[in-house]
């Protein structure tokens, strides 16, 4: 939160399972380790802390960025942590050895999103310089493709088919074909809240009216799910 506390909730019970204290400023970005046992969190003082959920302690607090850290991502094998900042720099860290491995200037503005494909070989970065770029993780710094955005790219992620890349900003949602770089589909929307559905086969978008929209990997709208919040706001019900 803005107070520097990291709060973790059990989605089944709705109870708070952890509260991690140690950041000196508000939390700007987070990433969950593939094992589920660690969380990386970056605060507005340009500090990343790697938290161990079993002990509740911060294992590591690297301070190498010169600007605000705006995006974090673990590699699928959990060996590397990538951190992007407002000056377009991306840093690659060895998680177990707790050392900085590489430093790259990838964009001309804020890196707003980082994601790996399921193999861990391809990396996607989104930026406020109006681009979405793909990189070879083994040869980071050599761009495989650049997609021009209509406006800033706020975030990006690979879908479960390993062929579709999704990016978005406050005004549009984009579906890209990885192999050709072709824009498959785009949708206008006044929303910046998107998540992958189960198995990564759908994209869910929260609408201005409080419902959910579901899209397949080709960008086709599958349907709408109204959200009902009963009196007392104790439960969340999705209707079909």
DSSP structure string for 64-105: --SS-EEEEEE-TTSSEEEEEETTSEEEEEETTTTEEEEEEE
Residue of 97, 80, 98 whose CA lies nearest to 138 = 80
Q: pLDDT tens digits, residue range 30-85?
A: 888 998 888 888 887 778 888 888 887 777 666 678 888 889 999 999 999 999 99
Give 139's DSSP letter.
G
**What CA–CA distances, in Å, run from 158 to 1, 163, 178, 236, 237?**
27, 8, 9, 27, 28
Cβ proximity of 98 and 62 under 8 Å: yes
SS3 assignment, position 55:
coil
In this predicted structure, what is the pLDDT of residue 25?
65
Distance (Å, whole) CA 212 – CA 238: 9
User: Which residues lie below 8 Å from residue 209, measured CB to CB, with a gap of 6+?
Assistant: none
Give 141's DSSP letter.
T
Long-range (24+ apart) CB contacts under 8 A made by 221-230 are 221/187
In this predicted structure, what is the pLDDT of residue 4?
65
Count CB atoms within 10 A of the CB of residue 213: 20
Q: Tokens in use for 239? A: 């209707």
DSSP string, 178-232: TTT--EEEEEE-S---EEE-GGG--EEEE-TTS-EEEE-TT--EEEEE-EE--TT
In this predicted structure, what is the pLDDT of residue 150?
77
Q: List the chain residues with pLDDT less than 50.
A: 227-240
Q: What is the pTM of this model?
A: 0.77
Cβ proximity of 203 and 218 under 8 Å: no
In this predicted structure, what is the pLDDT of residue 233?
38
Cβ proximity of 71 and 59 under 8 Å: no
In this predicted structure, what is the pLDDT of residue 229?
40
Q: Tokens in use for 91? A: 């840093």
Cβ proximity of 89 and 82 under 8 Å: no
Q: Which residue has the tokens 């899209």?
A: 215
């Amino acid at each position: 939160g803005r107070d520097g506390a990291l709060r973790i909730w059990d989605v089944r019970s709705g109870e708070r399972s952890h509260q991690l204290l140690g950041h000196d400023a508000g939390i700007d970005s987070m990433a969950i380790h593939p094992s589920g046992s660690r969380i990386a969190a970056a605060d507005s003082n340009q500090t990343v802390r790697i938290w161990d959920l079993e002990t509740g302690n911060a294992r590591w607090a690297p301070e190498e960025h010169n600007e605000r850290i705006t995006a974090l991502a673990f590699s699928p094998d959990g060996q590397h942590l990538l951190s992007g900042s407002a000056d377009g720099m991306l840093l690659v860290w060895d998680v177990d050895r707790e050392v900085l491995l590489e430093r790259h200037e990838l964009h001309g503005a804020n890196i707003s999103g980082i994601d790996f494909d399921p193999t861990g070989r391809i990396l996607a970065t989104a930026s406020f310089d109006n681009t979405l770029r793909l990189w070879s993780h083994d040869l980071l710094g050599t761009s495989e493709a650049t997609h021009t955005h209509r406006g800033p790219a706020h975030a990006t992620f690979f879908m479960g088919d390993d062929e579709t890349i999704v990016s978005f900003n406050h005004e549009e949602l984009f579906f890209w074909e990885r192999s050709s770089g072709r824009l498959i589909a785009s949708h206008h929307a006044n929303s910046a809240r998107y998540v992958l559905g189960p198995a990564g086969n759908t994209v869910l978008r929260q609408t201005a009216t409080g419902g959910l929209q579901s899209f397949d990997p080709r960008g086709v709208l599958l349907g709408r799910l109204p959200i009902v919040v009963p009196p007392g706001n104790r439960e969340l019900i999705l209707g079909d």
